Amino acid sequence: MRSVPAPSASRLRSALAAWTTAAFALAGPAVADWAQREVVDPRSGDAEIAPSGRNAAGFALDLLREEAGEVLAIFRLPPGERDFLDAMRPPIVALDQGPEQAVLLREGGLTWAAFPVWNGVGDAAAGLLRDLMQGRSVEVTYFLHGGGYKSTRFELEGAAPVIAGAFGVPERLSAEQIARAAELEAAIEEEGVRCLELKGKRRERCLEVARGCIENATSVGELRECIAERSAR
């Protein structure tokens, strides 16, 4: 019987590399890489160390803190991407394959979009930053210059400790803490709407009272008690 020569080491390495590439392609996107890394603020060109997520397709989600304390997410297209963003339309996000959430576009360009995820106050118990910390994945849908849209997904495993370490907030909160924070956010929004329905000096006074109480309130009860007390003065 004719003997078959053993494959060379180089052929084995090539075969192994091809098999590995195919396996990753079949498995789908890899877990996003979350770390503190140097990123460039596209608005100023300044470099800073910030929490940053990268997915297998090369998209980036960087979290930059403003001087006033607010945290912005900077969504970026991969380097060399042929598509361009519609700089006037905000992305849409969906946590854990749940309902889509519109975000407020703060600034944007052809390759990036900036939107707020946290006001910088408290433990980030409610809002998009906490969703990123406690969720499993986030899908970002972005609109294209010239029409149409596409989407990409970031896995969130490993995001919580990176974000918590950068911004000094708890890595995990209980469902009860998150629910209380969501109730407070809803009450704050309700109070803002009520003030805006007023006119003239009554509106100005209402907003002044609301701002003073919002800064220190940690529950709906505290907020309403503060507003009632200050409004009666």
pLDDT in tens, 89-103: 999 999 998 899 989
| pLDDT-based confidence at residue 212 (cuts at 50, 70, 90) | confident
| pLDDT-based confidence at residue 87 (cuts at 50, 70, 90) | very high
Indicate the average pLDDT of the chain: 85
pLDDT in tens, 23-32: 333 334 445 6
Q: Are strands 137-143 and 92-95 parallel, antiparallel or unpaired?
A: antiparallel
Residue 12 has pLDDT above 60, yes or no: no
Q: Which CATH architecture has domain 33-167?
A: Sandwich (2.60)
Cβ neighbourhood burial of 94 (10 Å; 0-12, 13-18, 19+): middle
Count Cβ neighbours within 10 Å for each residue of 32-62 and write b for 16 or more, e otherwise. bebeebebebbeeeeeeebbbbbbbeebbbb
Which two three-digit tokens encode residue 135?
A: 């969720």
CA distances from 224 to 167, 182, 210, 211 (A): 29, 15, 9, 12
DSSP 102-131: E----EE-SSEEEEEEE-S-TT--SSHHHH
DSSP 194-215: HHHTS-HHHHHHHHHHHHHHHT
Q: Are strands 92-95 and 33-40 parallel, antiparallel or unpaired?
A: unpaired
| Helix H or strand E segment including 53 | strand 47-54
Between CA 75 and CA 87 the distance in angstroms is 12
Long-range contacts of 65-70 (CB under 8 A, 24+ apart): 65/120, 65/166, 65/167, 66/120, 68/120, 69/119, 69/120, 69/121, 70/116, 70/118, 70/119, 70/120
- Least Cα distance to 128 among 162, 28, 153, 120 occurs for 120
**pLDDT at residue 179, rounded to an integer:** 83
pTM for the whole structure: 0.72
Residue 125 has pLDDT above 90, yes or no: no
Helical ranges in the chain per DSSP H: 9-27, 128-134, 159-167, 175-196, 200-214, 220-231
The full set of domain ranges for the chain reads: 33-167, 175-231
Distant-in-sequence, close-in-space partners of 157: CB < 8 Å, separation ≥ 6: 31, 32, 34, 136
pLDDT in tens, 52-78: 999 999 999 999 999 989 999 999 999
